[in-house]
Amino acid sequence: MKFAVLVFPGSNCDLDMYHAVEDTVQQPVDYVWHTATDLSAYDAILVPGGFSYGDYLRCGAIAQFAPVMEEVRKAAEAGKFVLGVCNGFQILTEAGLLPGALIRNNSLKFRCHPVDLVVENNKTAFTNDYAPGETVRIPIAHGEGNYYVDEQTLLTLKANNQIVFRYAGENPNGSTDNIAGVSNERGNVVGMMPHPERAVKELLGSKDGARMFTSVLNAFLSRVNSGAVHGAQAQSERV
Amino acid sequence: MKAKVYVTIKENVLDPQGNAVQGALHSLGFGEVSKVRIGKFMEVELATSDRAQAEQQLKSMCEKLLANTVVEDYRFELEG
């Protein structure tokens, strides 16, 4: 299975994401610059945190139009696995690949500390290695992580089981319904404010984030085994 | 042709910055301030004299980039 870690000007969690892939699932991974126009070689696309384009105008507003985003859109439509973390989540919502928007924390403070999350949906490509309702500890680091959706969209998210993570304790940013992460309807695109790539070893304070990576490898392998992906067999031989 | 673009947070969306500024105004003695909402103001210059075309372009710019219509409203004024 081949991973891409997108790099925008101002990304700063790209190295963590890259090493998290190497350390958790030992699969090939590349940095892919925002100007790339072909992602066909990759099975999973990881959009890391940071401050793409300086967060000018709004977080993710400029990044959504980077050339690589057209490819991310195609990959998502093709059912490939896409994960956006923090600024990556903001970019995916701005791009319309995930519902809602992320606005300023209600405290107006940049919050940077571990949080407890409840796994609300363990059926997505990135959460199948967690137990439903399990509490996991993963750090947050954001000033604009206050997830907003209108009431109608919230009902849709609930009906489709698109709420992936909720904050278990205190809500650190004022997000709607304590939401920390959501998926698209198909469950192949997931976005979240907490940083699983910063929680892959006990030495880092938690290894609860590691299973996001093992989950997506599971999802990929089960697809390959069921032959659901064209050319997947050839790809699995390269794994 | 010059346009003034105003992007404001939707009425039903919380504006924590506006609330903080309201609190600061209260502590300065401006107790009559009942609400503050913070938005963005942009000046956009367009190399066209076709008003209809400019309006159409601005609408498209706002929808695509200048505002996030999930949480923001926009309006614009054309000068000249």
What's the one-letter identity of residue B39? Answer: G
* Alpha carbons B76 and A17: distance in angstroms, whole number: 41
Candidate from B13, B20, B66 with C-beta closest to A103: B13
Question: What structural domains does chain B harbor?
Answer: 2-79 (3.30.1280.10)
Q: Among B12, B20, B68, whose Cβ lies nearest the Cβ of A101?
A: B68
Question: pLDDT for B7-59, tens place per residue?
Answer: 999 999 999 999 999 999 999 999 999 999 999 999 999 999 999 999 999 99
pLDDT score recorded for residue B9: 95
Give the pLDDT confidence score for residue A226 in this predicted structure. 86
Cβ distance of B12 and A58 shorter than 8 Å? no
> pLDDT value at position A227?
74
User: In the prediction, which pLDDT does A229 show?
Assistant: 53
* Interface predicted TM-score (ipTM) of this complex, two decimals: 0.88
pLDDT at A233: 47
Return the CATH number of A3-238, one of 3.40.50.880, 1.10.3470.10, 3.40.30.10, 3.20.20.80.
3.40.50.880
- Residues of A within 8 A of B68 (CB-CB) are 58, 61, 94, 101
Q: Residue A180 is encoded by which pair of tokens?
A: 């920390």
The residue ranges of every structural domain in chain A are 3-238
Q: Express as a percent the part of chain A with pLDDT over 70.
A: 95
Closest to A129 in 3D by CA, of A46, A219, A29: A219
Told to judge if A13 belongs to the known catalytic residues of this protein, a careful annotator would answer no
Measured between beta carbons, the chain B residues lying within 8 angstroms of A177 are: none
Residue B32: exposure state from Cβ atoms within 10 A (0-12, 13-18, ≥19): exposed
Per run of 10 residues, the mean pLDDT along chain A (length 239 residues) is 98 98 98 97 98 96 97 97 98 98 96 98 97 97 97 97 97 98 97 98 96 98 79 48
Query: Which tokens go with A36?
Result: 């790339």
- 8-state DSSP, A15: H
- A101 to chain B, closest Cα gap in Å: 6
Residues 18-37 of B with CB under 8 A from A: 20
Q: Around Cβ A37, how many Cβ atoms within 10 Å?
A: 8
Cα dihedral angle (B31, B35, B39, B45), rounded to 10 degrees? -80
DSSP string, B4-18: EEEEEE-TTS--HHH
